[in-house]
Amino acid sequence: MSRHSEEELKPRNGHTLIVGTVCRISGCENQKEESLDDQEDNVRDLVNDLYDGPFEIRVIASTKDKGEALDRPELEKVEDAYKSGDYDLIAYDELSRLIRGGEAVRLLGIGVDHGTRSICIKDTIDTVDSTWEEDALTACSENVAFNERTSRRIKQKTMNRFRKSGWPTGRPIAGYIVPEDHKSYDDWCKDETAVPIILEGCKILRRELDYAPVADFFNEQGFPLGPYCRRKAWNGTMVRRLYSNPILKGMPQRGLKHTVKNHATGRRVSVKNPKGPNYYPAPHLAHLTADEFDELNSLLNAKNACHRRMKVNGVDPLFRRSRSNSRFPGLHARCWYCGYHCVWGGNGITENLMCSHAREWQCWHSIAFSGPVFAEKLVAEIAEQLQHLDQFDEQFAALVATAGSFDDDRHAAAWKQLKHEEDVAAREKKNLLAAIKSVGHSQMLKDEVAAIEAAEQKLLLRRHKLEHHRVGHPKLPESPSRLGWMLKEELGRLTIESPAFGSLMRSLVPEVYVYSVRLCDGGHLLPRAKVKLNLAGTFPDVNLVPGLGDLLTQELTLDLFDPPQRERIREEAVRLAGEPTNLGPKAISRRIAERPTSTAVQNALALHRMVVSRGIDNPYVIVLEPPEDYPKVRRHKHSRYAFQPMDGYQRPEL
């Protein structure tokens, strides 16, 4: 094991050397969890060579993310570890375990700035050497070059095999039979029972130029979905995918898309390949002739050309943007009735949101609400809540004071109990995996493994909490007033349209459920939101202090609508009607600043009489089911409708 320096290690605390290490595997098929242990053992051997006294190794492990990703949470942990000044040494099996790029040099530099030594064993990098930066840049360059060359070689090899022999194949789709031992498209065959259904669907599509009727036809015929389909029934999008796949004309393709690197995050995204795909001739797989296929898709493309997204300054505003990267509150607010997310474009209005499942005819709640209005009202409500933070000063200070009073004996006992439970969980999981290998897959064994993995997640949370207490005090705001000042400054700096605003709101508002209310005398359905507000959401360590999170968390109700006129003028109309002069509706309307019609005044008075007769304080009632007397909500009347809430979803109390 070669290193540049043999400089002696000295513990800062005078008795125990604190060593940190980053262990990472990409989670690929051929990589095993044992590799993480091997990396930790290499670091342990290094410390044994350099230091004779007692030492403690703290591990930051990752098993899912690729080495190019710059937004991995463990990188933030590494930076915090360097800045904390608690570590004497942070060691890596090799630099690519940290990050495969120049960001690694920046992180090592932070360690140098804070007096923490870093050693990369296999790269022979030691930051006590004057050449450490040059060595690290060289190692980063070699890592990037190696992975780029390997990627090109694999892509070239697989594409060459596809062009020559028709393998590797894509995933099977509806209308085809794929043997278990298949290798090439030559081994695939058509499902003869699907031929008349696909041909009839093609006729319907040519006649209607609409995918929904074909989806209805497929569902009526019981046409089976593809084996990897997550949905339970056909819809228009799936029909479009099927009839645009060139395998239907006997020409399976590969390379329609390829990945490009997003240098801001280090992650790769899939985009359309400008060179186009490659094809492999497999005429025995053709359901349609080449002319029929090309003509059908030409008609569909011409019909849908006018529905393309408008470009801004010649550029698609969503160019290379992930579908999951939605403006707040898109893909965050949920429909209270079915539990699915709300998405932008509600009922064809760009700035509105609606339940995504209502689009699929699986939820009746198609009432849309304005995204900008919701964001503005939410910011105003947060600002109002921040003004009341000072009343929690004493409680806040008392809870924060307990964060550092974790007794050493209790700490040691908690660690002992945690390690015992982790060992038990590991043995149980190992035994179950051995049972699966010996007797085969069964749903019961899979459920047992899932239960153990869920228990492992809880153990990880406990370990995280103990680690924070061992390292030092959790990172918390000094006082409620300090927290309020920080949030006000952050909110004032951001605009509602910015991605940073969405990130901040998702941490401050972990839950948003949208439902509808209605005036007790009928009328339109009006959107309302139940919001869970966590003012300390930007400080994850708050959850490590029992009771502190509950102190700064509360539930709010936001009306996402302007009250109807009869409700706006109700109180004033009732006051004027109760005067001794016995004013009539016309006289009352002239005295109200809004100047409503006399009919509106009569409606307001009638609404008030109904409120009084029912003995209620709030004229709004929650809509639990689609009202039969409201003609604008008729989605549940369609033959395609089938209410399907999210699996395991339970409506929260309002």
Q: What is the CA radius of gyration of the chain?
A: 32
E strand or H helix at 556, and its extent? strand 553-559
Query: Is residue 202's pLDDT more than 80?
Result: yes
Residue 572 is assigned to a structural domain of this protein: no
Main-chain phi, psi angles of 389, to 5 degrees: -70, -30
Rounded Cα distance between 62 and 36, Å, is 9
Q: Looking at the structure, tell me whether residues 175 and 303 fall in a common domain.
A: yes
> How many angstroms separate the first and last alpha carbons of the chain?
63
pLDDT score for 477: 65
Q: Looking at the structure, tell me whether residues 280 and 234 fall in a common domain.
A: yes
Lowest mean pLDDT among 75-79, 398-402, 433-437, 499-503: 398-402
Rounded Cα distance between 47 and 440, Å, is 43
Query: Residue 295 maps to which CATH number?
Result: 3.90.1750.20
The string of pLDDT tens digits covering residues 467-513 is 555 444 556 666 667 777 777 777 777 777 777 888 888 888 999 99
Q: How far is CA 5 from the centre of its chain?
A: 45
The string of pLDDT tens digits covering residues 35-63 is 667 777 888 888 888 888 888 888 877 66
Burial (Cβ within 10 Å: 0-12, 13-18, ≥19) of residue 485: middle
Q: End of a domain among 278, 307, 336?
A: 307
* Phi/psi-derived region of residue 119, left when phi > 0, alpha when psi is between -120 and 50, beta in every other case: beta
* Phi/psi-derived region of residue 410, left when phi > 0, alpha when psi is between -120 and 50, beta in every other case: alpha
Work out the number of other CB atoms within 10 angstroms of the CB of residue 21: 27
pLDDT score for 327: 87
pLDDT score for 406: 47
Rounded Cα distance between 354 and 357, Å, is 9
Of 535, 581, 579, nearest in space to 555 by CA? 535
Per the DSSP assignment, residues forming a β-bridge with 511 are: 532
Q: Looking at the structure, tell me whether residues 137 and 257 fall in a common domain.
A: no
> Residue 346 carries which side chain, given as an amino acid letter?
G
**Beta-strand pair 189-190/176-177:** antiparallel
Residue 567 is assigned to a structural domain of this protein: no
Query: Helix/strand/coil (H, E, C) string of 5-67?
Result: CCCCCCCCCCCCEEEEEEEECCCCCCCCCHHHHHHHHHHHHHHHHHCCCCEEEEEEEECCCCC
The string of pLDDT tens digits covering residues 267-319 is 888 888 999 999 999 999 999 999 999 999 999 999 988 887 778 787 877 77
Q: End of a domain among 276, 307, 338?
A: 307
Q: Looking at the structure, tell me whether residues 101 and 207 fall in a common domain.
A: no
Q: End of a domain among 446, 471, 496?
A: 471
> Residue 235 carries which side chain, given as an amino acid letter?
N
pLDDT score for 319: 75
Look at the chain and report how many structural domains it folds into: 3
Of 183, 215, 20, nearest in space to 114 by CA? 20
Work out the number of other CB atoms within 10 angstroms of the CB of residue 65: 19
Q: Looking at the structure, tell me whether residues 189 and 266 fall in a common domain.
A: yes
Q: In terms of residue numbers, what domain contains 43?
A: 17-148
Alpha helices in 306-369 (DSSP H): 356-359
Q: Looking at the structure, tell me whether residues 231 and 104 fall in a common domain.
A: no
Query: Residue 29 maps to which CATH number?
Result: 3.40.50.1390
Residue 111 is assigned to a structural domain of this protein: yes
Contact by Cβ (8 Å): 508, 538: yes
- Mean pLDDT of all residues in 244-254: 95
Record the tokens describing residue 651, joined without a space: 């409506």
Record the tokens describing residue 17, joined without a space: 């050397």
Selected residue with higher pLDDT from 29 and 358:
358
Per the DSSP assignment, residues forming a β-bridge with 259 are: 270
> Residue 369 carries which side chain, given as an amino acid letter?
F
State the average pLDDT for the chain. Answer: 84
Residue 101 is assigned to a structural domain of this protein: yes
pLDDT score for 558: 94
Record the tokens describing residue 451, joined without a space: 């239960």
Q: Looking at the structure, tell me whether residues 54 and 122 fall in a common domain.
A: yes
Query: Helix/strand/coil (H, E, C) string of 377-417?
Result: HHHHHHHHHHCCHHHHHHHHHHHHHHHCCCCHHHHHHHHHH
The string of pLDDT tens digits covering residues 111-160 is 999 889 998 888 888 999 889 999 999 988 988 898 889 989 999 999 99
pLDDT score for 347: 87
Residue 411 is assigned to a structural domain of this protein: yes
Contact by Cβ (8 Å): 333, 353: yes
- Mean pLDDT of all residues in 587-592: 91
pTM attached to this predicted model: 0.72
Residue 312 is assigned to a structural domain of this protein: no
Lowest mean pLDDT among 92-101, 367-376, 524-533: 92-101
Is the N-terminal amide bond of 477 cis, ω within 30° of 0?
A: no
* Angle CA 50–51–53, to nearest 5: 170
Rounded Cα distance between 489 and 492, Å, is 5
Is the N-terminal amide bond of 168 cis, ω within 30° of 0?
A: yes
Main-chain phi, psi angles of 302, to 5 degrees: -65, -40
Main-chain phi, psi angles of 278, to 5 degrees: -105, 150
Residue 507 CA: distances (Å) to CA of 386, 490, 492, 510, 650 = 16, 13, 17, 6, 23
Residue 559, SS3? strand
> Residue 653 carries which side chain, given as an amino acid letter?
E
Candidate ranges 3-7, 65-69, 108-112; pick with highest mean pLDDT: 108-112
Q: Looking at the structure, tell me whether residues 27 and 138 fall in a common domain.
A: yes
253: CB partners within 8 A, 6+ apart: 246, 247, 277, 278, 279, 280
In 182-256, which ranges are E strands? 189-190, 253-254
Q: Looking at the structure, tell me whether residues 187 and 223 fall in a common domain.
A: yes
Q: Looking at the structure, tell me whether residues 252 and 176 fall in a common domain.
A: yes
> Residue 230 carries which side chain, given as an amino acid letter?
R
- Mean pLDDT of all residues in 612-625: 92
Percentage of the chain beyond pLDDT 70 is 85
Q: Looking at the structure, tell me whether residues 223 and 274 fall in a common domain.
A: yes
The DSSP secondary-structure symbol of 518 reads E
The string of pLDDT tens digits covering residues 181-201 is 889 999 999 999 999 999 999
Residue 360 is assigned to a structural domain of this protein: no
Of 100, 98, 93, 103, nearest in space to 142 by CA? 100
Residue 386 is assigned to a structural domain of this protein: no
Q: Looking at the structure, tell me whether residues 110 and 180 fall in a common domain.
A: no
